[in-house]
Structure 1
């Protein structure tokens, strides 16, 4: 029996050590394991409450604490698991029952020391437990600034996009707004910036998957919806303006769907790695025409008709639409045009951007 307790205790301690290393130390995407289980468990009650509320802001207020709370619960879960593992090890090498062994392990892990034993076998385990507690807490404290720095870098571009696309953002609105303020010659700068943004998000959100669930400071903004809007703007630009420079636009598009695929890989979401341009998309042609009309209203120049551009736009969108819709549903992103349905509400149309009024000459 004690041998079995020792084996179980060793497996728990080594398994949690591996989880701590994968989450806080190793700078590369690794399977979620324990942290993924905690994230799913924590999110269920919040999502249950959010599903029974009406209104985007009310849902967002309920869902906003999910990621921070999961970080705290993860730390507590690690410490309690270490206490259980060390307690079973101490029960295996001594005559203590499980209750007393857990009591001594907890005393050592949290560096209280009130239940330390003088037996050599237990003292060695007590030393390991006493070192483990501060190390795990220290690593978690050092992890938080890195996490929030990555969050701030992500949200800066999302906030800047609001002036170009409204809130929530929408691909046709980006092109319409750029045409409205005579900035189409500079739109390559937007795509260049979002190409780099995609690289940063791909690296940080696969290394620290909890960032996927961190919500923007305002309910009508969301990192995924912003990315989808930029990708749609790039696809529309390529579909309607084949004579314009395409390098930056294509690079931004590719960076965007590679980013989505990297995040899908870490979350275990299947996808077609090589879709065909003629494959169907969920966005309907009528919704596409509504977006085209928005662009035309604000004076966006088009070299192709909507009918001619549709196959080209669809051929680009097939690379990212499925993953964007799935992730938007998973994280309960703010409903927005061309972003698919949510679990409890359908996508909505954003209010029109006011006309850029200028003094008459």
Structure 2
């Protein structure tokens, strides 16, 4: 019976070691999204701590300052969980092979090898070989994880370049109105296709990086008081407005940008809220304010001289249908990233756009 228990301990240790290798490959090495329990636990722990602290303040800039700790906490938790998993697996193997007489000695011997401190080396040749192998794993965890930190930071920096571009042109509150007014002032409204092609690339980049590493969704904007979710909402509202109101031959770039953006945000929203029902995206907003705001912007497009469709009601219904495809995603991401729900990412009040304030400053 004692031999059976030792064999089971060895097998359990090998299973734990397999889980470690699978986890590290999924999180760090595979260039696609693979769900992993270590990543999910580390992300849950980091986000829970940051959100618990952030909910004590109503100032969005202070919230972002606290959220900046999400990525460091995630990395620390992930490394700690991987270390613990490897240490427990070798503890079971050392004890199962009778290299160490009890659990305590096996645990400290495993920790000695994993940390490369070498204060307790197993007394047999097999134990020493296992210690060398475990020490190599310990070094690999640190090297792999911290060499990927610059990649995480680069993904956020690339994301923030377009966010900074938008806020610098629309002020602290990017909306459909302020964005279109900015494009008109700069002379880009007539050739808006180039703008939406750039934003299409931005949405693709966010999808590629943030879907592989969902923890990046929680990383706040580099510029104080700004939000990448709010920027995305303003762009999707604008492209939806143009797609609904203009002739299709003038909106191909806007349509593609909107489709890519909707798909990207929906995938991220589902990743962060896996239990959300599928019919959550079928609701079509009929807020009276939305209709009023739409009428204002439709008239503004006509004043600018863009070739709008003749039937305003048809355009309004088309816009509401298009907006329903991403409204839930925006709200879920805003909730997950603690972006204030009162931020006017939706269509603005029927008035002239707010004057552009000073560009946002670096956090």
Q: TM-score range by the shorter chain?
A: 0.7 to 0.9
**Aligned residue for 1:149?**
154
1:185/1:175 Cα in 2 relative to 1: closer, same or farther (>3 Å)? same
TM-superposed deviation, 1:289: 2.1
Hey, what does 2:73 align to over in structure 1? 69
Alignment correspondent of 2:37 = 33
Q: Indicate yes or no: 2:338 matched with 1:332.
A: yes
Aligned mate of 1:321, from 323, 327, 332: 327
Alignment of 1:289-308 (within 5 A): 289-290=292-293, 292-293=295-296, 300-301=304-305, 303=308, 307-308=313-314
Number of aligned residue pairs: 347
8 A Cα contact 2:230 2:345, kept in partner: no
Q: For structure 2, which runs of at least 5 residues remain unmatched after alignment?
A: 358-363
Is there any run of 5+ residues in structure 1 with no aligned partner, and where? 341-346, 357-361
Q: TM-score, normalised by structure 1?
A: 0.86
Query: 2:171·2:356 contact (CA, 8 Å) conserved in 1?
Result: no
Are the counterparts in 1 of residues 60 and 339 from structure 2 also a CA contact under 8 Å?
Answer: no
> In structure 1, how many angstroms separate the alpha carbons of the residues matched to 2:315 and 2:118?
72
**Higher alpha-carbon deviation: 128-137 or 258-267:** 258-267
Q: Any conservation in 2 of the 1:171–1:233 contact (CA below 8 Å)?
A: yes
Stretch moving more, 133-142 or 80-89: 80-89
Residue 7 of structure 1 and its aligned partner are, at CA, apart by 3.0
User: 1:296 Cα deviation (Å)?
Assistant: 5.6
Once superposed, what is the RMSD of the aligned Cα atoms?
Answer: 3.0
What is the aligned partner in structure 2 of residue 281 from structure 1?
284
Work out which of the residue numbers 245, 249, 267 in structure 2 matches 1:240: 245
Larger deviation, residues 173-182 vs 199-208:
173-182
Q: CA deviation at 1:253?
A: 0.8
Structure 1 residues 1-361: aligned runs within 5 Å = 1-94=5-98, 95-242=100-247, 245-264=250-269, 266-267=271-272, 268=274, 270=276, 272=278, 280-282=283-285, 284-290=287-293, 292-293=295-296, 300-301=304-305, 303=308, 307-335=313-341, 336-338=343-345, 352-354=353-355
Cα deviation for residue 300 of structure 1 reads 4.3
- Asked which structure has the greater RCO (Cα within 8 Å, sep 6+), the reply is 2
Q: 1:328 to 1:355 in 2, by over 3 A?
A: closer
